[in-house]
Chains A and B, each alone.
Chain A
Amino acid sequence: MALNFHAYANPARFMMLSRRLVAPIAMIAGVLIALGVYLALWGSPPDYQQGDTVRIMYIHVPAAWLSLLCYTVMALASATALVFRHPLADVCAKSAAPIGASFTFLALVTGSLWGKPMWGTWWVWDARLTSVLILFFLYLGYLALWATIEEPVRAARAAAVLALVGFVNVPIIHYSVVWWNTLHQPASVFRIGGPTIAPSMLAPLLIMATGFTVMFVALLLLRMRAEILRRRVRSLRLAQAGFAGGGREA
């Protein structure tokens, strides 16, 4: 089992398998998102309370969902990288981070664009918003750590430790923020959600969420391929520098 696992984790093997996967997956994502956008903008009625602002929800909720999914993928990959010393795992974690950060940013901004007409303000220190903001900080810290440590092996392991510590902390932070929120203000903000979503609204939401997720997979594969190539370029350059320097390479 473990042997098999490692066979699939081989970068060369991954490159071979993923080569044919990226384009079809991206295509599926494109079709789903196009359908989702059509349903979200044309094919669904405005909400009786929120009016047409409900259409922002069809991108806001999938973005928020992906911000969590990306972090989970990142943390699982980091754990795999630390425990099994997997050649692909830290490539996966590193590649997932910018995607996750982008979706977290989108979740924040679209939420703000929805909040202005609905709550009358761009930002409220609501528990969920605050948690997502902190999640965004965690992403930025992770990316900053990768960018700062130059040596890739070191950077990968340090970043993996950070991702895991962050993963353990996310629920604690979320809980503390919820607790803080209930201390300071009554939960009076109007929110959607709950089981009473009309099917006409559920369809675009689900299709968009699926489309975003499939697109995440395509982007992740593409970025992982780029990252593997980048490492190959790096080691080739080092080897050539070694040749040029009379084989001083350690």
Chain B
Amino acid sequence: MSTFAEFLSMGGYAGYVWPAYGLVLLIIGGLIIQSTMDYRRQKQLAARLEEANEAAGRRRAPAKKVPS
């Protein structure tokens, strides 16, 4: 059985294997976070605007529902 230190050393290639996995984690993690945050933001904006639109529609002439 290999020890944990041996596992970390990756047969001497630690300097290559770990950066590779780290970078994948960084980039894909970043992509996931960016996508999720963008989605939430757009959702919030859309909800707020739609609300405002309906309020305006009640006050003014019947507002045409904007096709998405």
Contact = CB atoms under 8 A, between A and B. Distances in A.
Q: Judge A-B direct contact (beta carbons within 8 Å).
A: yes
Interface of A: 11-12, 15, 37, 41-42, 46, 51-53, 55-56, 59-60, 63, 98-99, 102, 105-106, 109-110, 113-114, 116-117, 215, 219, 222-223, 225-226, 228-233, 235-237, 239-240, 243
Nearest to A33: B28
Contact of B53 (A53, A102, A229, A236): A236
B16 A117 contact: yes
B31 A56 contact: no
A42 B7 contact: yes
Chain A interface SS verdict (over half): helix
Contact of A60 (B20, B38, B43): B20
Contacts of B10: 52, 55
A240 B68 contact: no
Contacts of A55: 10, 17
Contacts of A102: 27-28, 31
Contacts of A46: 11
A235 B67 contact: yes
A222 B36 contact: yes
21 contacts: A15-B68, A52-B11, A52-B13, A53-B13, A55-B17, A59-B20, A98-B31, A106-B27, A109-B23, A110-B20, A114-B16, A116-B16, A117-B13, A226-B35, A226-B39, A228-B68, A229-B39, A229-B43, A233-B45, A235-B66, A235-B67
The dominant DSSP class at the B interface is helix
Given A223-B39, A239-B64, 16 more contacts: A15-B68, A51-B12, A51-B13, A52-B12, A99-B31, A105-B27, A109-B20, A117-B13, A117-B16, A219-B32, A228-B68, A229-B46, A232-B46, A236-B49, A243-B56, A243-B60
Contacts of A52: 10-13, 17
A44 B53 CA distance: 58
Most B C-beta atoms less than 10 A away, residue of A12, A109, A229:
A229
B53 A240 contact: yes
A225 B27 CA distance: 21
Contacts of A223: 35, 38-39
A235 B42 contact: no
A63 B31 CA distance: 14
B36 A53 contact: no
Given A215-B28, A222-B36, A229-B46, A235 B7 contact: no
A42 B8 CA distance: 11
Interface in B30-68: 31-32, 35-36, 38-39, 42-43, 45-46, 49-50, 52-53, 56, 60, 63-64, 66-68
